[in-house]
Amino acid sequence: MSKTSEIKFSVKLDEHNLPVEIEWETSDGTEKSKSKSVMIALWDAKENNTLRIDLWTRDMTIDEMKRFFHQSLLSMAETFKKATGENEIAEDLKDYCLHFESKMGLS
């Protein structure tokens, strides 16, 4: 038997249709959680292309965005390694993340 789970995002917009609040919840009964940013990448097998949704609230600071990108890139490197077994290129991406961290003053 397979299980179906849902992740729901609710985005409150201002008068210019810019996100002011992002909430998400799962169908397994967890509480709603607030977020300042979300990046979703979907693989469209029919079009052989990536579809993306990138949203952030107006109160997300530049420093938070830098950290968000840094941590997302590190996570993508680990996911790529697990999914493909391409350890060398995943390590190269992690090396870039160290460069990014240094250039952005995150260390």
100 pLDDT higher than 80: yes
Summarize pLDDT for 65-84 with one digit per residue, the tens. 999 999 999 999 999 999 99
48 pLDDT higher than 80: yes
Where residue 29 falls among pLDDT bands split at 50, 70, 90? confident
26 pLDDT higher than 80: yes
SS3 content of the chain, % helix, strand, coil (to 5): 35, 30, 30
What are residue 33's phi and psi, to 5 degrees? -120, 145
pTM, 2 dp: 0.88
Summarize pLDDT for 10-19 with one digit per residue, the tens. 999 999 999 9
Give dist(CA 29, CA 97) in Å, integer: 35
Q: State the Cα angle at 106 between 50 and 22, rounded to 5°.
A: 50
24 pLDDT higher than 90: yes
